[in-house]
Amino acid sequence: MPGRRHKSFTILFRKHIYLVHANCYVSVVEYMIKLVIYWPFDPY
C-alpha cells in the first residue's frame, strides 16, 4: 500500500531531521563551552 510506505518514509525522514538537529545542537553546545573556557584567556 502506497499510503503505508509513505507513512514509514515520513517517520524515517523525521528521525533523520531529529538526528541532524541533535548533531547541530551538540556542535553549538561544544562551541559555547569552548567560548566560555577560552574567552577569559583570549588576548583580544
Residue 10 has pLDDT above 70, yes or no: yes
Q: Is residue 8 part of a domain?
A: no
Q: Is residue 41 part of a domain?
A: yes
Q: What letter represents residue 8's amino acid?
A: S
Domain count, the chain: 1
Residue that is written with C-alpha cell 584567556 in the block: 41
Residue 2 has pLDDT above 60, yes or no: no
Q: What letter represents residue 43's amino acid?
A: P
Give the domain extent around 43: 18-44
Q: Is residue 11 part of a domain?
A: no
Q: Is residue 1 part of a domain?
A: no
Q: Tens digits of per-residue pLDDT, 13-43?
A: 888 888 888 888 899 999 988 888 877 666 5
- C-alpha to C-alpha distance for 15 and 2, rounded to whole angstroms: 20
Residue 6 has pLDDT above 80, yes or no: no
Q: Is residue 12 part of a domain?
A: no
